[in-house]
Amino acid sequence: MKCLAIADLFIDKQVMEKGLQKLKEYNIDITIREWKHNDIEALQKDNISLEKNGSDAVELPIDILKDADTFDIVITQFAPLNKDTIDKFKNIKIIGVLRAGIENVNSKYAEEKGIEVFNTPGRSITSVSEFTVGMILSEIRNIARSNHYLKEGKWEKKFPNGILAPEIKNSKIGLIGYGDIGSRVADLLRPFGAKIQFFDNYFQGETKDEKVETLEQLVSESDIISMHYRLTNETKGMVNKKHFNLMKKSAIVINTARSGLINENDLIDALKDQRISGAAIDVYDEEPLPLNHPYNELENITITPHVAGSTIGNFSNSPIILSDIILKFLNKNKKVTYMESFGFIIVLIGAVLLQAVTNYFHGRYYQRKIKTLTTRYSEGYLGVGIIKKALRPGKIAILVTKKDGTIQECNILTGAIVLSRFHNYKEYEGECIDAINWENKKHKMVVQDAIKKIQQQGSINNLYTA
């Protein structure tokens, strides 16, 4: 199989190659090409456009599509795969997206063509959840504000939320969304002593926290409200003027998820009118954030440039996580064709029948041959040689092991199968034993004599003259 991996400024060629090592070990041929941008801002601009407008918003450079019809797998992080691009990959079976969102891929069209589309859920759990807790602390404890004031030469201790700041301890945290990131935020905040409740229509399972049935109940009861839902047509603007009017005057709102989840204009009005105490925002309807944006005129908001997920671990682990997902799918769906299965069954049945017939006739022959040649032993032939001669060339019906149990001399596979039917074959572990438990005492003496000679000279070479 062949895989095209499209690198970018966040997951470069080196990180991509290292992260896809498991696919290489699976004998998948990896080709890495780069979706080039002059800087991170240019890449982010394309990414935001794709997230808002879908896979047709940005065109993929033609040089990345060289030999497109030779690839079975395509892996991308931000690079767009629209309908026309997917059609160029005539043999593609899998599309892997190195993040949770797949807005840059026309997944509906891919699935219609029978192409499996995998995202990378959970890659941002640590980075975004930690950042969320940081944003909560920064806003309620005025950390960023204090830094800004001091650099302006102001020794200020009075802030929009008062002189004495609230604590996370004993605060009621309201999480909107309780998936991988939302539940991880809860885990991080619980040791502070916070009481945590959440609203999530899709959550099922056990939890230490309280699930509320309506979004209205959550926003009206919570001191700190944090967004962790996925942005869809249904969730766009899910928090708006109606909800800000239900919030406590002391409430703060955190958004490190997607801008569209909150009606940005309604949030600005709520902050201006001080209907809520404050907000901490990392995502915006327009990015980069314009200098004349209303947020820049407000004192009761902490803003950061969409960096919640920008950690080393987030990007370097993504190819590793996706590799495991793809390999799990490939191993689960390994299929032998009908003809291959039918042919294998026919060969197996034939082999079993042939072995049964062979064992029967060989057994009868060897039984007679050994009796005859054993009689000749009394005339001077050495038993081990006679037995070896009686069996198929290169086989011997004696098993000799070292004291540690490893085999010293053993060529009994054919002989053992044949003789087991007629001589009560049994294997032992020990210093030196015979592999065949002879019913005839005379036969057993022949074997024991051979073993004795093997012990004396440590080899089966030149032990027989027949």
Residues marked as catalytic: 258, 287, 306
Q: Which two tokens stand for residue 418?
A: 């044949």
- Residue 133's closest CA among 260, 285, 308? 308
CA dist., res. 76 & res. 35, Å (int): 9
Three-state secondary structure call for residue 106: coil
Token readout for 137 is 């602390």
**Contact indicator for 166, 223 with CB cutoff of 8 Å:** yes
Q: How many Å apart are CA 232 and CA 238, to the nearest integer?
A: 10
Q: CA 88, CA 83: separation in Å to the nearest integer?
A: 9
At 257, which amino acid appears? A
Output the six-digit token pair for 376.
């000749």
411 with 422: CB under 8 angstroms? no
User: Do 384 and 454 touch, CB atoms closer than 8 A?
Assistant: yes
Tell me the three state secondary structure of residue 148.
helix
Rounded Cα–Cα distance for residues 45 and 8 (Å):
13
d(CA 412, CA 377): 21
The first and second tokens of residue 91, run together, are 């043999």
Distance CA 138, CA 148 (A): 12
Main-chain dihedrals φ then ψ at residue 252, nearest 5 degrees: -125, 150
Residue entry with tokens 């709520």: 270
